[in-house]
Structure 1
Amino acid sequence: MRSETIAVRTGGRPTVHDLTGACTRFVSSESDGLLSVFVPHATAGVAILETGAGSDADLLDAIDTLLPREDRWRHSHGSAGHGRDHVLPAFLAPSITVPVLGGRLQLGTWQSVCLVDTNVDNAERQVRLSFLPG
């Protein structure tokens, strides 16, 4: 298995960061297998969704509706409402697997691999990309 970690700066606001380009580069010299994308953080997740047409903003809005940033959370360190960030990975898994054939991600036409980060207290993220040959 080949694996590397990439650094992603998400900024000080909730964001959906497109990782597809980095994933494409990582598997381009491979043949067939599986790409694992893993975020080793307790307050971020990984998703496959369409970006650039409003779905990324819709996802962040849905998270705000489902997990509002307010002071009701028992996990209370950090900025106000930060406890919801610790619940996020139960709804958006910290990892995904994408099939790779002939060095190409087998994503649908409008699908992108994205880091979803609602934690405004930590703007630096690590993402581990791992390729398991088939």
Structure 2
Amino acid sequence: MRQAATEITIETSGQGLWECTGHVSDWAADSGIVQGLLTLFVRHTSASLLIQENAAPAARRDLEAYFARIAPESDAYEHDDEGPDDMPAHLRSALSATSLSIPVAGGRPVLGTWQGIYLFEHRRAPQRRRVALHLIGE
């Protein structure tokens, strides 16, 4: 059994879904591990990770709009240390995932035809998000 680990940085220009499938897939292929399990973990409390539709931009826009409705910006939150989008960003992270586990076969993440790996940025300002990757296998 072998292991490989790294950290990638995803630069965002604000809220939305930022696809990182290619970067993650390239790293997995370069690891030399052909079969195993890939874990991704976002190291922030106001961003999350998703596997989502990667062909139709409308699906991503609808998802972003849904999260804006269920965790809107408001002056009703006590926690607003970093501005009005601070607490809604934490709520959106709590309602989504901070880690993903993806099987690897043939040196590539096993994803469906229309699936992509996304960082879901919940803050309005540009951010530099760190995502830890760990691959274990043979």
Kept in 2: contact 1:78–1:121 (CA 8 A): no
SS in 2 for 1:126: strand
Instruction: Give the TM-score taking structure 1 as reference length.
Output: 0.92
1:83 & 1:121 partners in 2: Cα distance? Answer: 14
Could you list the per-position Cα deviations for residues 5-49 of structure 1 after superposition, in whole angstroms to 9, with x for gaps in the alignment? 1111111x2120101001110111321001111101010100000
Please identify, of 73-82 and 53-62, the stretch whose mean Cα deviation from structure 2 is larger: 73-82
Instruction: Give the TM-score taking structure 2 as reference length.
Output: 0.90
Q: Look up the match of 1:41.
A: 44
Q: Look up the match of 2:131.
A: 127
Kept in 1: contact 2:33–2:136 (CA 8 A): no
Percent identity, aligned pairs only? 28
Question: What is the deviation of 1:51?
Answer: 2.5
* Structure 1 portions without partners, runs of 5+: none
For this pair of structures, how many residues does the alignment match? 133
2:52 & 2:111 partners in 1: Cα distance? Answer: 10
* 1:72 to 2:73 alignment: no
1:126 & 1:17 partners in 2: Cα distance? Answer: 13
Question: What is the deviation of 1:81?
Answer: 3.4
1:132 & 1:56 partners in 2: Cα distance? Answer: 30
* Structure 2 portions without partners, runs of 5+: none
The letter for the 1-side match of 2:128 is E
The letter for the 1-side match of 2:43 is P
Question: What is the deviation of 1:70?
Answer: 1.5
The letter for the 2-side match of 1:90 is A
Could you list the per-position Cα deviations for residues 84-105 of structure 1 after superposition, in whole angstroms to 9, with x for gaps in the alignment? 1112221111100000011021
1:81 & 1:94 partners in 2: Cα distance? Answer: 18
Q: Look up the match of 1:115.
A: 119
Please identify, of 35-44 and 82-91, the stretch whose mean Cα deviation from structure 2 is larger: 82-91
Question: Cα–Cα, structure 1 residues 99 and 31, in superposed 2: closer, same or farther, change >3 Å?
Answer: same
